[in-house]
Amino acid sequence: MNNIVPIKWVLARMCESDIVIVDCRFQLGKPLSGREAYKESHIPGAVYLDLEQDLSAPVDPDGHGGRHPLPDAAVLADRLGKAGISNETRVVAYDDQGGAMASRLWWLMKYLGHEQVYVMDGGFTAWKNAGCPVSAEQKIIVPARFLATVQHNMLVEVDEVRESLGTGRFVLVDSREAPRYRGEAEPIDRVAGHIPGARNVFWAEGRGPDGTWKSADEQAARFAGVGLSQNDDVEIVVYCGSGVTACPNVLALREAGFSRVKLYAGSWSDWISYSGNPIATRDEEHQSKA
């Protein structure tokens, strides 16, 4: 099955006993807005997981690990269990941020060895616009046991990225908007630019005009625009500002048939926390043509 499921798929299965629907809505700069939106209205039976409280670790004072560090695997496994998620559960994640937050949960669960996790296409607004039911009632959660089997091969650390520069070991994909990639604007992090050699593919362009995810062929075309082909024997490392909006690009690459895809979870905010790391501020040869 694909990693992205349509609203009709969720509607038909939402009451099945092995399904847990997770509301991941979150707005950067407004940390309470997602939980407040959930309390007001959500898919019936959905539980809420917060990007910063549940799906990230506390920020290091030195900035190492980035603005949204990966949560400890054991801590996250315990949190998933408290949300009623076991190793047998089918998990459906949704948000209202173009799939960025839902993709974070999708990636984290894959990282913990859980395969049955999906992102709902279109998000909560599309669910409501389709006339599907919503509720303000919060589900009574029966805790479960979730055991993590960490997939270390899905992740790269800053040292690996630094040592790979100029060697061709990785192809780096920067998921941020082009002005941030080029160093022309930086509204969030203290330093502008990108990791030298990175190719720019803005994550939000993985969706069509109606807000739904593009097809596998269309996703493949996005990455072909920066010289990437499924037939290439290369490892792709995806990053963004803090490791969150890189996740929808990881998902898009998977949908397009790329198998050797890793996440640099600390991303740009981690990279610039080390004073010796090189920074580029010009267009690279393979910047996205999209």
Catalytic residues: 240
Q: From CA 108, how far away is CA 73, in angstroms rounded?
A: 9
Contacts of 81 (CB under 8 A, 6+ apart): 143, 144, 145, 146
Q: From CA 15, how far away is CA 120, in angstroms rounded?
A: 15
Q: From CA 259, how far away is CA 216, in angstroms rounded?
A: 13
Q: Answer for the pair 252, 213: CB distance below 8 angstroms, yes or no.
A: yes
Q: Answer for the pair 156, 237: CB distance below 8 angstroms, yes or no.
A: yes
Q: Answer for the pair 221, 255: CB distance below 8 angstroms, yes or no.
A: no
CB atoms within 10 A of CB 150: 13
Q: From CA 207, how far away is CA 205, in angstroms rounded?
A: 5
Residue type, 192: A
Would you call 181 helix, strand, or coil by DSSP? helix
Q: What are phi and psi of 151, to 5 degrees?
A: -100, 85
Q: What are phi and psi of 93, to 5 degrees?
A: -110, 145
H/E stretch holding 219 reads helix 216-224
